Amino acid sequence: MTKDCVLVINCGSSSLKFSLIVPQSGETLLSGLAERLLSNDASITIKMDGEKNTSRLPDPFDHQSALSHLVAFLYQHKFEQRLLAIGHRVVHGGENYSKPELVTEVVEKTIEALSALAPLHNPVNLIGIRASKQAFSHLPQVAVFDTAFHQTMPKTAYLYGLPYKLYEQHSIRRYGFHGTSHYFVSMQFAQMNNKPIEDTHVITAHLGNGCSIAAIEGGQCVDTSMGLTPLEGLVMGTRSGSLDPGIVFHLCKQLGYSIEQVDSLLNKESGLLGISEISNDCRTLEEAIENDGNEHANLAMDIFCYQISKTIASYSASLSKLDGIVFTGGIGENSSLVRERVVNRLKLLNLAIDNEANLATRFGKSGNIAKAGHTGCWVIPTNEEWVIAEQTYQLINEGN
Ligand code: AMP
Of 15, 25, 26, 24, whose CA–CA distance to 385 is shortest? 26
174 assigned to some structural domain: no
Q: Do 295 and 244 have their domain in common?
A: yes
Most informative mutation of 238, 334, 383 for ligand 1 (most atoms within 8 A of CB): 334
Q: Do 199 and 137 have their domain in common?
A: no
335 contacts 286 by C-beta, under 8 angstroms: yes
Q: Do 185 and 132 have their domain in common?
A: no
Domain range holding 280? 179-384
Q: Is the C-beta atom of 209 inside 6 A of ligand 1? A: yes
Q: CATH number for the domain including 103?
A: 3.30.420.40
pLDDT in the model for residue 225: 98
Dihedral angle over CA of 257, 278, 304, 207, nearest 10:
100
pLDDT in the model for residue 64: 87
Q: Which residues contact 147 (CB under 8 A, 6 or more apart)?
A: 91, 92, 93, 94, 97, 175, 176, 177, 179
Phi-psi region of 86 (alpha: psi -120 to 50; beta: other; left: phi over 0): beta
Phi-psi region of 234 (alpha: psi -120 to 50; beta: other; left: phi over 0): beta
173 assigned to some structural domain: no
Q: How far, in Å, from the CA of 391 to the mean position of ligand 1?
A: 26
Q: What is the CA radius of gyration of the chain?
A: 21
Q: What whole-number distance in Å separates Cα of residue 320 and Cα of residue 201?
A: 8
Q: How far, in Å, from the CA of 177 to the mean position of ligand 1?
A: 18
Q: Is the C-beta atom of 334 inside 6 A of ligand 1? A: yes
pLDDT in the model for residue 94: 97
Residue with CA at minimum distance from ligand 1 atom 18:
334
Phi and psi at residue 353, to the nearest 5°: -105, 145
311 assigned to some structural domain: yes
pLDDT in the model for residue 400: 66
Q: What whole-number distance in Å separates Cα of residue 286 and Cα of residue 28?
A: 31
Find residue 18's DSSP bridge partners: 9, 32
Q: Do 189 and 326 have their domain in common?
A: yes
User: 3-class SS at 77?
Assistant: coil
Q: How far, in Å, from the CA of 284 to the mean position of ligand 1?
A: 10
- Edge-to-edge strand list for the sheet holding 376-379: 220-224, 211-217, 201-207, 324-328, 376-379, 367-368
Q: Do 230 and 359 have their domain in common?
A: yes
Phi-psi region of 5 (alpha: psi -120 to 50; beta: other; left: phi over 0): beta
Q: How far, in Å, from the CA of 330 to the mean position of ligand 1?
A: 4
Q: Is the C-beta atom of 271 inside 6 A of ligand 1? A: no
187 contacts 180 by C-beta, under 8 angstroms: no
Phi and psi at residue 34, to the nearest 5°: -100, 130
88 contacts 129 by C-beta, under 8 angstroms: yes
Q: How many CA atoms lie within 13 A of 393 on its CB side?
A: 21
Most informative mutation of 234, 282, 287 for ligand 1 (most atoms within 8 A of CB): 282
For residue 6, which amino acid is it?
V
Q: How far, in Å, from the CA of 36 to the mean position of ligand 1?
A: 21
Q: Do 247 and 334 have their domain in common?
A: yes
112 assigned to some structural domain: yes
Q: How far, in Å, from the CA of 334 to the mean position of ligand 1?
A: 7
Domain end residue (candidates: 98, 122, 145):
145
9 assigned to some structural domain: yes
Domain end residue (candidates: 145, 166, 194):
145
Q: Do 237 and 364 have their domain in common?
A: yes
Q: What whole-number distance in Å separates Cα of residue 206 and Cα of residue 93?
A: 20
169 assigned to some structural domain: no
Q: Is the C-beta atom of 230 inside 6 A of ligand 1? A: no
156 assigned to some structural domain: no
pLDDT in the model for residue 110: 98
pLDDT in the model for residue 1: 76
Determine the atom of ligand 1 nearest the C-alpha atom of 338: 21
Domain end residue (candidates: 121, 145, 169):
145
pLDDT in the model for residue 224: 99
322 assigned to some structural domain: yes
Q: Do 306 and 201 have their domain in common?
A: yes
Active-site annotation holds for 146: yes
Of 17, 3, 6, 38, whose CA–CA distance to 388 is shortest? 6
pTM summary value: 0.95
Per annotation, catalytic residue among 146, 263, 292, 354: 146
Q: Is the C-beta atom of 335 inside 6 A of ligand 1? A: yes
**Helices 282-292 and 295-314: angle between axes, nearest 10 degrees:** 130
Q: How far is CA 234 from the centre of its chain?
A: 14
List, as one string, the DSSP characters of 170-207. Answer: H--S---S-HHHHHHHHHHHHHHTT--GGG-EEEEEEE
Q: Is the C-beta atom of 330 inside 6 A of ligand 1? A: yes
Q: Do 86 and 33 have their domain in common?
A: yes
Q: How far, in Å, from the CA of 329 to the mean position of ligand 1?
A: 7
Determine the atom of ligand 1 nearest the C-alpha atom of 272: 10
Q: What whole-number distance in Å separates Cα of residue 355 and Cα of residue 358?
A: 5
Q: Do 205 and 286 have their domain in common?
A: yes
Q: Do 114 and 199 have their domain in common?
A: no
Of 3, 28, 18, 1, whose CA–CA distance to 138 is shortest? 3
Tens of pLDDT, residue by residue, the chain (400 residues): 788 999 999 998 888 999 999 999 999 999 999 999 989 899 999 999 999 999 999 888 888 889 989 999 999 999 999 999 999 999 999 999 999 999 999 999 999 999 998 888 999 999 999 989 998 999 999 999 999 999 999 999 999 999 999 999 999 999 999 999 999 999 999 999 999 999 999 999 999 989 999 999 999 999 999 999 999 999 999 999 999 999 999 999 999 999 999 999 999 999 999 999 999 999 999 999 999 899 999 999 999 999 999 999 999 999 999 999 999 999 999 999 999 999 999 999 999 999 999 999 999 999 999 999 999 999 999 999 999 999 999 999 986 6
Q: Is the C-beta atom of 370 inside 6 A of ligand 1? A: no
Q: Is the C-beta atom of 329 inside 6 A of ligand 1? A: yes
Q: Is the C-beta atom of 331 inside 6 A of ligand 1? A: yes
Find residue 382's DSSP bridge partners: none
* Number of domains making up the chain: 2
Q: Do 110 and 190 have their domain in common?
A: no
